[in-house]
Structure 1
Amino acid sequence: MREFDLFVNGEWVRPEKEAWIDNVNPATGEVFCRVRAAGEKEVEEALRGAYEARKSWGHSLAKEREAILLKAADCLEEDAEKYIPWLIDESGSSLTKITAEIASCTGLIRTAAGECCRISGGVIQGEYPNHLSYYTRNPLGVVVGIAPFNYPLFLAINKVAFAIAMGNTFILKPSSCTPLSGLVIARCFEKAGLPKGVLSVLPGSGRVVGDALTADRRVRMVALTGSSQVGQRLAVQAASSLKRYSLELGGKNPMLILKDFDVDKAADIAVFGGYFHQGQICMATSRIIAEEPVYEKFCEVMAEKTGKIVMGDPHDPETIVGPLIHEKQCQVLDRLIEDAVNKGAKLLAGGKHRGAFYEPTLLKDVTQEMDIFYEECFGPVVCVICAEDARHGVELCNDNEYGLSSSILTNDITLALSLSEEIEAGMVHINESTVVGSTRAPFGGVKMSGVGRENSSFSAEEYTELKWVTVQH
């Protein structure tokens, strides 16, 4: 069985106290590798190294940071074939999903490289004669990133690459379910020649690693992708030392289908948005709200397409739906589905599971009296809700504490643009799935879906702070 060391301040190390994370393949339930877990000593070493390196890295030339990032992207691309089987076994991702994820990561790192030379300030008109007034944008210092298990490579690199590009040093805590993905990132940046102290990767428990990093006053920002509950707790911890935080949290994302849109096309879009990566995506299309004239027909077509989805071995190129990361999540889905059916919902497809494999599931006649209308499933379960008209559909979309992604399907673009202004979400996609991504667009949500935005210049703003300078000459 393969064993992996920690990456602390640019070096592969073994912790003072031997502790391991058993990396379990969710498809088989078997341990396929072991990763060393960081302890208090390794956390302190990473913090000390990042704090000491922050000034030299922060003062490095933009072209130097750009070159390292471009090299890291090349390294990931060159070694992708080696990493793909590891990442499938670790996360249960399908071959299609993980291949696309790695391709997105290389593009994202190159986008971050481009931002190195775009960090800019500005000149302000002077208040007095012979008065120069200007502002600069500067790195924060030490940044901590906490990554989730569902897109473990992409969502970690999204934080690492942009923070480093802006001149910050970075400590990454990957999910304990997918620790190997974080070490893959470390290998790429090590091969690219990243100076020591700029990056550490610390797999370990949230109590030992996550809480210590969040509480430490040397850390100036924490970037989290995770559940809303964890985000709330992190915000409270960060507030104690007035450090910044960026929170990309959960979603219960609606797709509003209006009566003029082709039902078959709508079902294709909904199947992708609802079941991609087993629905374990914060942007997953979990609530489909269809206008009454097309409601029954849509449910019929959607049920037929859902029943044809291939579930099985994630290494098989034909597989669309693989295992959930935790078998215990099946119990959560069972509870939500049972509650909905007992209150009048109809099960059109799925609803069963074996091991961590949960069948693609479709429920119709879901109402606001049911828990599943509001709760995030994080599994392959899609609900269909009937709306009287477009305005009622928007009301149903907004009746939720989450506000991450949303979708409107209609041929009336004028109406769609009007409705997009009313939907309470950080992202609105017209005639597309809720699962739309771009390394250049502002990614993030409102309400309980988070604080801050990621990608491109939006990440640059998150990972830097402004300084105002005046000169009386």
Structure 2
Amino acid sequence: MKKWDKQFIGGEWRDGKGQRVYEDKNPYNDETLAEIRLASSDDIDVAYRSARDAQKKWEEVNAYDKVAVMERAVDLVKQRRDELVEILIAENGASHTKAQIEIDGAIGIMKEAATFPLRMHGKIMPSVIPGKENRIYHNPAGVVGIISPFNFPFHLTMRSLAPALAAGNGVVIKPDLQTMISGGLFMGKLFEDAGIPRGLLNITVCSSSEIKDAFVEHPIPQIISFTGSTPVGRHIGELCGRHLKRVALELGGNNAMIVLKDADVEKAAGSAAFGKFLNAGQICMSLNRIIVERPVYEEFVKVLVEKASQIKYGDPADRDVVVGPLINNKQVGRIQDLVDKSIEMGARYALRGDTKGNVFPPTILVDVTNDMPIAQEEIFGPAVGIIVVDDELEAIKVANDSEYGLSGAVHAGSIEHGVEVAKQIVTGMIHVNDQGVNDEPIVAFGGEKASGLGRYGGEWALHEFTTTKWISVQTMPREYPF
């Protein structure tokens, strides 16, 4: 891992010019994996200028040649899969299962993006003016700045990177420091070896405390793509509005699963266990609240506790471990505080364990009400509250009683009844007889309310990273009124 000690700027692997050296550490055992001199604001400037200059050449590359580059990148991920799994386990604290899921998801995105160069369609439209022809072109936006998170670093960076590159843009990435390799530097090497033009992709490992808002406010990027917390997303959205930049924001979630009284309790509990405890709950789509109709409440709690108590937690290098460490100790304290305050307000433990280091055990609270911190705050960890309701109208009301609207789920005996309930939940995505953690490369992905703006995936991603231009052609003399 120590080889990942350079920035990737202007087609070169070089030291940053920042004020300090950052230690990238294993969140499970605190081992230092790599050290890197951070990038400065001057480095950000060089990166954006490099991406802009290279983008002009990349835009003119034949569409089939762009496809070939993207396909080579897919092949390289497959060849280097074992290395990437090791990096995700060591740097991100990912379990083997989570690492494999993450890589498969990224490959799906890359395959879909590889079709984009052949889908940059224009069209000719009629005009109200005699002798005029209207032509609509879809062009690259120019340069895209990507700020990516720590929780699914490879997947969530690639979700923006692959579509942006394939649509003909230059890119600069600012990965989360805690996952600088899996969320950034690894991709620099990947696409360098795949054959992209020199300087088209830049990876800037930097600290916001040093560069402030320079990454977003720089005049070159036309689009900023951010995945992360809602408070930071609001700030980035404000900056982009001030500078008239387009912005794609995938933010926090307070995702509810509704279990109706006619649901298959065994299947619902199985969905809940996966949707809550995958990646130790550090997923924006993870279940935050489970809302259960009273007739099946006690049975559901019993089955979920049985399933969750069998989940192994600890060292992610152990292939049997499902819940590995949280990304840092600050997160451990934050989640424990949410639990403690909810207990003080009347919630009870249905399942708890011993926290060791950054490993927080699977935790289930019952007698939860929707005003408790465990229900109001995004948990982003392996703890969940179960809320009992008297009927589905109350379930819908409780589910919607949140500023967030990212994902969710409904379990019902009748699929179409489940769909009708799902339609009433204000959220960008919701899944019937499944759980909240779903992401497919050809489907629109994004949230409502405080969960973000814009959509990723398939044709929606192609739209996010391109711009539309109208050119009219007057084929015969036009008569004017003066």
**Which shows bigger deviation, 383-392 or 80-89?**
80-89
Match of 1:353 in 2: 355
Separation in structure 2 between the aligned mates of residue 354 and residue 201 of structure 1, nearest angstrom: 34
Separation in structure 2 between the aligned mates of residue 213 and residue 437 of structure 1, nearest angstrom: 28
Separation in structure 1 between the aligned mates of residue 212 and residue 125 of structure 2, nearest angstrom: 41
Change (3 A) 1:348 1:416: same
**Which shows bigger deviation, 47-56 or 231-240?**
47-56
Separation in structure 1 between the aligned mates of residue 451 and residue 136 of structure 2, nearest angstrom: 32
Match of 1:220 in 2: 222
Q: Displacement, 1:17? A: 4.9
Q: Displacement, 1:433? A: 0.9
Q: Does 1:96 align with 2:97?
A: yes
Q: Displacement, 1:271? A: 0.3
Match of 2:368 in 1: 366
**Which shows bigger deviation, 236-245 or 53-62?**
53-62
Separation in structure 1 between the aligned mates of residue 146 and residue 380 of structure 2, nearest angstrom: 22
Equivalences for residues 246-261 of structure 1 within 5 A: 246-261=248-263
Match of 1:282 in 2: 284
Q: Does 1:131 align with 2:132?
A: yes
TM-score (norm 2): 0.96
Equivalences for residues 84-123 of structure 1 within 5 A: 84-123=85-124
Separation in structure 1 between the aligned mates of residue 423 and residue 267 of structure 2, nearest angstrom: 24
Q: Deviations over 1:335-359 (max 9, x none)?
A: 1111111111111111541210101
Match of 1:168 in 2: 169
Root mean square deviation, CA, Å: 1.3
Contact (CA 8 Å) 1:360, 1:381: kept in 2 or not? yes
Change (3 A) 1:46 1:202: same
SS of 2:248's equivalent? strand
Query: Unmatched 5+ residue regions in structure 1?
Result: none
Contact (CA 8 Å) 2:422, 2:430: kept in 1 or not? yes
Contact (CA 8 Å) 1:223, 1:246: kept in 2 or not? yes
Equivalences for residues 172-191 of structure 1 within 5 A: 172-181=173-182, 182-191=184-193
Separation in structure 1 between the aligned mates of residue 199 and residue 335 of structure 2, nearest angstrom: 43
Contact (CA 8 Å) 1:76, 1:106: kept in 2 or not? yes
Match of 1:236 in 2: 238
In the alignment, residue 34 of structure 1 is paired with which amino acid? E
Match of 2:154 in 1: 153
Contact (CA 8 Å) 2:374, 2:384: kept in 1 or not? no
Separation in structure 1 between the aligned mates of residue 17 and residue 370 of structure 2, nearest angstrom: 52
Contact (CA 8 Å) 1:303, 1:362: kept in 2 or not? yes
Contact (CA 8 Å) 2:17, 2:37: kept in 1 or not? no
Match of 2:57 in 1: 56
Match of 1:385 in 2: 387
Contact (CA 8 Å) 1:348, 1:364: kept in 2 or not? yes
Q: Deviations over 1:362-381 (max 9, x none)?
A: 01111023122110011101
Q: Deviations over 1:399-455 (max 9, x none)?
A: 000000010101212222211221000001001111111011111100000000001
**Which of 272, 280, 284 pairs up with 1:270?**
272
Q: Displacement, 1:103? A: 2.2
SS of 1:434's equivalent? coil
Separation in structure 2 between the aligned mates of residue 171 and residue 210 of structure 1, nearest angstrom: 16
TM-score (norm 1): 0.97
Contact (CA 8 Å) 2:51, 2:201: kept in 1 or not? yes
Identity among equivalent pairs (%): 36
Separation in structure 1 between the aligned mates of residue 469 and residue 424 of structure 2, nearest angstrom: 36
Moved over 3 A (4+): 16-19, 207-210
Q: Displacement, 1:36? A: 3.2
In the alignment, residue 243 of structure 1 is paired with which amino acid? K
Q: Displacement, 1:54? A: 2.4
Contact (CA 8 Å) 1:251, 1:403: kept in 2 or not? yes
In the alignment, residue 196 of structure 2 is paired with which amino acid? L
Contact (CA 8 Å) 1:337, 1:351: kept in 2 or not? no
Contact (CA 8 Å) 2:141, 2:465: kept in 1 or not? yes
**Which shows bigger deviation, 426-435 or 16-25?**
16-25
Separation in structure 2 between the aligned mates of residue 210 and residue 394 of structure 1, nearest angstrom: 41
SS of 1:400's equivalent? coil
Separation in structure 1 between the aligned mates of residue 248 and residue 468 of structure 2, nearest angstrom: 17
Q: Displacement, 1:18? A: 6.7
Q: Displacement, 1:119? A: 1.4
**Which of 410, 413, 426 pairs up with 1:411?**
413
**Which shows bigger deviation, 98-107 or 283-292?**
98-107
Match of 2:2 in 1: 2
Separation in structure 2 between the aligned mates of residue 310 and residue 226 of structure 1, nearest angstrom: 28
Contact (CA 8 Å) 2:427, 2:447: kept in 1 or not? yes
In the alignment, residue 113 of structure 1 is paired with which amino acid? A
Q: Displacement, 1:266? A: 1.0
In the alignment, residue 305 of structure 1 is paired with which amino acid? K
